[in-house]
Structure 1
């Protein structure tokens, strides 16, 4: 059994989550549950693989070995029944740079990029920096979880004529793991109106028990060449600082154009340690992922159950280590709620960063020890009492 309750001091390790508290929240005395990395040690097999490589002592230019392709193929087939071949894979060093390169290829300045909001805020940054036009379709909260408003989605497509849909599966920050029916509907709309799809699936391995992640590509036989999925081992194995990702193509021409575009950007592939870490993770650490997902689901229940008798409400989640909390019952502005949370000693990310649709919510990271989540519940209850007394 993995001891996820073990605490490791991350202070003074240049960890953004812990060492930037004064800069972000104005004080050090804050429990940081904001940045989307976890407070768990990386699997020992991954650490040992990197240590072994470091002991070699030479770190020159390195090719990606065939066995890494095999590991990616095997992992995704066994975990998700996703059929990938070596020719489909292009390794990258992070998801966002890959999105950037794909948008450069699939669109031009002034073109519309469609997003389902609230959504991971760096999407907005990339679209704006590339001088594309952001187009938003707001999701609805139905039965205590996010649902795609397909009527509005089609309305935005017809009226705004986007070139690309920038999708997120599982969804950040909403915690939805889109089901097969939803994915089929999205594909059908995009195929009907000739919209390319970029799907950020970095959280795909972090799903709660009895929930199934479905690769969008598995839901079509006619539109595969227009779906580009980017994913990574970095979230699930807590190795974001090592930089590793890969993009899956079922379109040879687009794969060639992507490779050329990344060369223009001097955008590198995997470094030596990323190769070793990914290989060890995908070949030796399935047990770790299973135990982690159980632990995260328990952590989610700590937050959800702990807030039941407060004005805070934790939306239903199916995956990721991020939960989405509704504070509309307080009738407070985003700035006022953020101030109260910080004063109580809790550092989170306010929903307004994820688009206007996210304003009455905030995102809380449960990828930490359960003791910290119990502390978070206590702090949130203090805020609730202070406002409602």
Structure 2
């Protein structure tokens, strides 16, 4: 059994979640429920691996050896039914890095790239900063779920200027686990229109029953040249600071292009601790993930019940995956600025504002529930009190 209720003091650890609150929210005295990392201490098998490697005392140039690839392919096969050759897997420091690389290598400035807002805000930023044009296939909210607008998606894909789609699967922030039929339809539309489909699957381990993740790496050989999957153990095992992502590229010419660029940037070598930890979490982490997902689902149910009983005007969107809960706050009838002020200056909470994820996120907030439940309760109590005071 792992202890997810233990509160860990992260002061003086250079944690972005804490140290950048003033930069992002204008004050440092907030409960940090924004950046997508977890407040749980790593299990002993991870800590011991780092210690054992540190005890060796030499940290020179490091290569990813066959056991690393065995661990990655084993995890993909055993947890997700993904059978992929080691040659189709390549390292990247992070998933956002990988998305940037795919945009830069396989599209040209001025071309259009499809995203589906409200979506993880680096999607829009990296498209625009790389001088490409966002083509926004906005998701449709249906009751407590979001669905894809396939008619609009097909129209955008048919635009000759459109050459790529960035898919978020499972979706951040709306928490959807896209089903196989949905993903196949997306892939068919993209393939028919020569749109390269890039799938960010970083949350693929954090899925709640009865839902199951279906990877685009499993679409079949007829899509091998048309799909690239980007993922990592970083969200699952809370190791974003160790830079441990990887991509699955079955298109050999594209893989050669990517590897050449990775080498040119001198990023093809392994971080010694990242390599060790990626291998061990994929070899030994199955039970930990099962318990983690159960705890996160308990936190989700706790927040749902708390809001229904105390703040019914805030409605959580149904959460099928991730630990990022999308809160519908529109019944409060506040502008984006007023909603931000309520959370930050009245409730003293740091959440990701919905409008950061695109115009369709206005009136929403994204809550990180990957923390001890006691921390969640304290935060919700603060919010409850702030709303009562706002209403007099």
TM exceeds 0.5?
Answer: yes
Name which of structure 1's ranges 52-61 and 146-155 shifts more when overlaid on structure 2.
146-155
Do the aligned partners of residues 118 and 160 (structure 1) sit closer, same or farther apart at CA in structure 2, a change above 3 Å counting?
farther
1:297-334: per-residue Cα shift (whole Å, max 9, x none)? 01111112211152111100111110100111122111
Select which of 316, 328, 331 maps to 1:314: 316
The whole-number CA distance in structure 1 between the counterparts of 2:270 and 2:209 is 31
The equivalent of 2:73 in structure 1 is 73
Aligned to 2:339: 337
Mapped to 2, the partners of 1:113 and 1:156 lie a distance apart of 9
Counterpart of 1:150 in structure 2 is: 150
Say if 2:326 and 2:365, in contact at 8 Å, map to a contact too. yes
CA RMSD of aligned residues (A): 1.4
Q: Give the C-alpha shift of residue 270 in structure 1.
A: 2.5
The answer to whether residue 374 in structure 2 is matched with residue 371 in structure 1 is yes
Q: Is the 8 A contact 1:92 1:269 kept in 2?
A: no
Aligned 8 A contact 2:111 2:162 in 1:
yes
> Is contact 2:89–2:249 with CA below 8 Å preserved after alignment?
yes
DSSP 3-state at the match of 1:317: coil
TM (norm. structure 1) is 0.97
Looking at structure 2, the residues matched to 217 and 143 of structure 1 have their Cα atoms a distance apart, in angstroms, of 30
Superposed displacement of residue 216, structure 1: 1.4
Displacement of 1:241 after TM fit? Answer: 0.5
Q: CA deviation at 1:379?
A: 2.3
**Helix, strand or coil for the counterpart of 1:246?**
strand
In 2: Cα distance, 1:15 partner to 1:196 partner: 35
Deviation of 1:388 (Å): 4.0
Contact 2:62 2:269 in 1 (8 A): no
CA distance in 1, matches of 2:111, 2:62: 38
Give how far 1:159 is off.
4.3
Residues 238, 253 of structure 1: alpha-carbon distance in 2 compared, 3 angstrom cutoff = same
- TM-score for both structures, normalised by structure 2: 0.96
For the 8 Å contact 1:230–1:247, the answer to whether it is kept is yes
For residues 10 and 220 of structure 2, the distance between their equivalents in structure 1, rounded to whole angstroms, comes to 44
For the 8 Å contact 2:8–2:41, the answer to whether it is kept is yes
Q: Does the Cα contact within 8 Å between 1:209 and 1:293 map onto a contact in 2? A: no
Q: Which runs of 5+ in 2 are unaligned?
A: none
Q: Deviations over 1:146-180 (max 9, x none)?
A: 11111121222234741000011111111111111
Aligned length: 389
Distance 2:209 2:374 in 1: 22
The equivalent of 2:183 in structure 1 is: 183
Classify the secondary structure of the residue corresponding to 1:113: strand
Q: What residue number does 2:258 align with?
A: 258
Q: Does residue 390 of structure 2 align to residue 383 of structure 1?
A: no
Q: How far apart, in 2, do the equivalents of 1:194 and 1:85 lie?
A: 25
Match of 1:357 in 2: 360
Q: Distance in 1 between matches of 2:4 and 2:179?
A: 29
Q: How far apart in 1 are the matches of 2:9 and 2:279?
A: 27
Aligned to 1:348: 351
